[in-house]
Amino acid sequence: MGSRSIYTKILFASNTICLIFILVIIIREDYPHRILSRFSTKSVYNYVNNSQYKQATDFYKVYSKTGNVVMLGDSLTSQIDWNELLNRTDTINRGIGGDVTEGFLNRMEYIYKVRPKICFILGGGNDIMKNIPVDTTIKNLSLVIEGLKEHKILPVLESVLYSASDFRDSKIYNRKVEILNKKLYDLAIIHSIEWLDLNRILAKDGTLRPEYSFDGIHLTRAGYLIWKQELERILKKYNT
């Protein structure tokens, strides 16, 4: 009777410890689905299924304008008129909403066609959202940089922006952004190219400040004005 009582107490204590451990994990991660997100499977996303990609590249085939500056990116790049913002006439926008870095790599012919002197690259946020492995993102951007250099175009690699704190799953997303940006910085060092860290001003505390975004991830006028200043600093440096 005594041994059974001891066994029951031990079993109860073990179960209690396990329950506490599980509760600690759940509380730390906020919600159970966030734990599962750590074990996300490899993405099967295909960039060509993006309707914006199909439409934009179809237009690129008939565009003939050349320019000294190209902005390569996703929706953060596509939704602004760079010539208006920079008060120039030689800036070409090659941003496509929803595009991933594999999409960048497979439309480089439309960058070379512009014959620019410099190309600003901002991409990787959609890769994170599509669960594309960070090593794949780095490989794609490395090939993009190599292609630009082979065509005598100066690449400038820009940091992926953090999201605002009210953006869905911002803690998980920003953790992944931090990891990716460290690898992007290393990539810039390896290729001996300029590294433009937009988060240094727009997200000093590791989250995009609310005055710089209207939806937690895309930029407001104030955000683009900061970006403009950073671009002009580099353009002036290279007399472009």
- Residues 18-51 have pLDDT tens digits of 555 544 444 444 443 343 344 344 567 899 899 9
Q: Indicate if 148 and 126 belong to the same structural domain.
A: yes
pLDDT of res. 48: 87
Q: Indicate if 60 and 17 belong to the same structural domain.
A: no
Residue 42 falls inside a structural domain:
no
Q: Indicate if 23 and 61 belong to the same structural domain.
A: no
Residue 218 falls inside a structural domain:
yes
Burial of 112 (0-12, 13-18, 19+ CB in 10 A): middle
Q: Indicate if 79 and 33 belong to the same structural domain.
A: no
Q: Indicate if 64 and 116 belong to the same structural domain.
A: yes
Instruction: Report the distance separating Cα 209 and Cα 217, nearest Å.
Output: 10
* Per-residue pLDDT tens digits of the chain, which is 240 residues long: 555 566 555 555 556 555 555 444 444 444 433 433 443 445 678 998 999 999 999 999 999 999 999 999 999 999 999 999 999 999 999 999 999 999 999 999 999 999 999 999 999 999 999 999 999 999 999 999 999 999 999 999 999 999 999 999 999 999 999 999 999 999 999 999 999 999 999 998 999 999 999 999 999 999 999 999 999 999 999 999
pLDDT of res. 40: 45
Residue 199 CA neighbour count, 13 Å, CB half = 22
Residue 125 falls inside a structural domain:
yes
Q: Indicate if 154 and 209 belong to the same structural domain.
A: yes
Q: Indicate if 54 and 33 belong to the same structural domain.
A: no
Number of separate domains in the chain: 2
Q: Indicate if 77 and 190 belong to the same structural domain.
A: yes
Q: Indicate if 117 and 58 belong to the same structural domain.
A: yes
Closest-CA residue to 91 (of 109, 73, 106): 73
Q: Indicate if 14 and 75 belong to the same structural domain.
A: no
Residue 153 falls inside a structural domain:
yes
Q: Indicate if 140 and 211 belong to the same structural domain.
A: yes
Q: Indicate if 202 and 139 belong to the same structural domain.
A: yes
pLDDT of res. 44: 72
Residue pointed to by tokens 């950073």: 230
pLDDT of res. 4: 56
- Domain of 52, CATH number, reads 3.40.50.1110
* Four-residue CA torsion sign, 164, 170, 173, 174: positive
Print the domain residue range for 30: 2-37
